[in-house]
Chains A and B, each alone.
Chain A
């Protein structure tokens, strides 16, 4: 009974406006200003506006929402994954349930272990990995690069997301090609576009860009490029330099 009360108290504490406010202020600034004007002065009065990202979501059990059929097997999957990982259950930093999707945030060192368990454990059986997508968050200090994997179980007809991060200063994530050979090209793509080094990949080379290309084009600090276009005396700047809403 006392543990029940404690848990309730913890939950209440977690929802205190003061705490939420501080969390919110600690979140990274996603953008400043309202308009994309960087060359001319922003006369709208919105120039000092700071829009912050949301603090990381820690979903609490139960993950299954009885009103949302999409979440039906989330509790089972989380339990099975925890059981299958055994002593390594700490590999999963946090779980996020949103929009009928479940995301396991995994420490990068533990990724191959998690992938192996996901594929081989009879209760999980995620036979199909639909590849990895890199995402770059310039403002997520220390976790700038995210590698996002989607797994699909044909046996249990279930779908999960596994996310891991690495800092720009040390862009290394272990490769899972030895577990899911299909990730060969997907990891090469993420290396090519984001500069994430997948340690243990059999041949991590560029795949879309030419071999001698400099830089990783889909990173947020890499410009889109383009040239101004002249039309009847007026000049239209390239898309990333146009004045526009953000």
Chain B
């Protein structure tokens, strides 16, 4: 703690000391630490704010508290094992992480066109459900930070419906490692379509409830309208994409611009707003959820029976897994085959799983429109069974740079709204 004639640095130390020393000086500027353990910093984000009374004159962002070395760790595992790591980056959008990674690996392998149709439809469906789940958390935590606990409980309740589907399909609520290079880990278990149809029937009502609660709510409007404004040139300069960019008036969406996983075959709109403020971002996210519902419905119609993993014995793992009480289990048919009828198949399976497949040397960049923006995966192979380098361009990482532009000159209360509207997840930021 330092106190000078000019400012009071209260970024550490005992509050009693700070107050005592602050009373002895005429300085008005206060430097405070918000986080890294603050409930409204979405994990472990540290904001260093310079306050002049209620006004925030400078906002600095400190990150790195959740760095776990995922990119480095992946260089010591096979390409398939990589999905287990990437799913843990931005833990609210695990299926986007996995898909971006697998698209990059598939591009390196040159098998993009050979991924089965059914696998692509399942990927799209899971991603769109994930988009809704992520937006619900964005809305819920935002509500909580503004003191609206009903929004929080509602948001998490709605998200739970989606997580139930994830649990049914992948065996886990989070950290799925479901999307794999060449397809997905296993087919949809029986009863999935029915459960998704139930969700499609129920979810519009739930979204409507949330809209009723917030769309015209005077308190909500007062906290969000014209707050944390960022215009289109600002977005471009700072590399801001996703709902934030669309809330600044540009209908840019990778699903339309550079379709992947067959997005060109789906009919949906790209919601856009020109408010450029927190409220516009809220409206865009809400509208996106409604569009996601449309896509999920089309996915169900497109689901044709077929394989869900590439029909290439050198790459595809067995994908007919039995769902046990403890999650995804073994593949009984495959085990019977390798253990009792074919020695070669056993050798092959052993090689594929322990050694992994070789990926031709080279580099590839694949990007998906995640719930937060452009999630890019840059993968480099040196021709071996492990990545030479995998780098993720996480949207949250890039977007946090915009905090200063959004907050400086506003009130300290608006800092909370600004950070919440960015919807950063530190797992993805720090990786």
Chain A interface residues (CB < 8 Å from chain B): 30-31, 51, 53-54, 98-101, 103, 127-131, 133-137, 148, 150, 152, 154, 157, 159, 161, 180-186, 189, 193, 206-210, 217-218, 224, 239-240, 244-246
Tell whether B314 is near chain A: CB-to-CB under 8 Å.
no
Inter-chain contact B362/A98, CB cutoff 8 Å:
yes
Q: Which residue of the partner chain, among B250, B382, B386, contacts A154 with CB atoms under 8 Å?
A: B250
Which residues of the other chain, A, contact B11 by a CB distance below 8 angstroms? Answer: none
Q: For chain B, residues 202 to 247, give those with C-beta under 8 angstroms from any C-beta of chain A.
A: 236-241
Binds A, one of B120-128, B156-164, B323-331, B373-381: B373-381
Task: Give the nearest-CB partner of A210 in chain B.
Answer: B64
Inter-chain contact A131/B236, CB cutoff 8 Å:
no
Known: A130-B367, A150-B365, A224-B76. A181 touches B380 (CB 8 A): no
Tell whether B63 is near chain A: CB-to-CB under 8 Å.
yes
A215: min CB distance to chain B, Å = 12
Interface of B is mostly: mixed
A57→B63 CA distance, assembly (Å) = 38
Inter-chain contact B361/A217, CB cutoff 8 Å:
no
Inter-chain contact A218/B237, CB cutoff 8 Å:
no
Contact with A along B362-399 (1 / 0, CB 8 A): 11110100000010101010111110110101000110
Which residues of the other chain, A, contact B64 by a CB distance below 8 angstroms? Answer: 206-210
Known: A30-B383, A131-B398, A239-B76. A209 touches B67 (CB 8 A): yes
A81→B383 CA distance, assembly (Å) = 31
Known: A130-B367, A148-B363. A135 touches B389 (CB 8 A): yes
Chain B interface residues (CB < 8 Å from chain A): 63-64, 67, 69, 71-73, 75-77, 107-108, 110, 236-241, 250, 252, 257-258, 354-356, 361-365, 367, 374, 376, 378, 380, 382-386, 388-389, 391, 393, 397-398, 400-401, 430-431
Task: Give the nearest-CB partner of A192 in chain B.
Answer: B64
Inter-chain contact B63/A180, CB cutoff 8 Å:
no
Which residues of the other chain, B, contact A51 by a CB distance below 8 angstroms? Answer: 383
Inter-chain contact A239/B376, CB cutoff 8 Å:
no
Q: Which residue of the partner chain, among A30, A103, A161, A185, contacts B397 with CB atoms under 8 Å?
A: A185
CB<8 Å pairs between A and B, sample of 18: A99-B362, A129-B239, A131-B376, A131-B393, A131-B398, A133-B391, A133-B393, A150-B393, A161-B363, A180-B239, A184-B401, A208-B64, A217-B69, A218-B71, A218-B72, A224-B72, A224-B75, A224-B76
Task: Give the nearest-CB partner of B430 in chain A.
Answer: A208
Which residues of the other chain, B, contact A129 by a CB distance below 8 angstroms? Answer: 239
A172→B271 CA distance, assembly (Å) = 43
A184→B63 CA distance, assembly (Å) = 14
Inter-chain contact A154/B430, CB cutoff 8 Å:
no
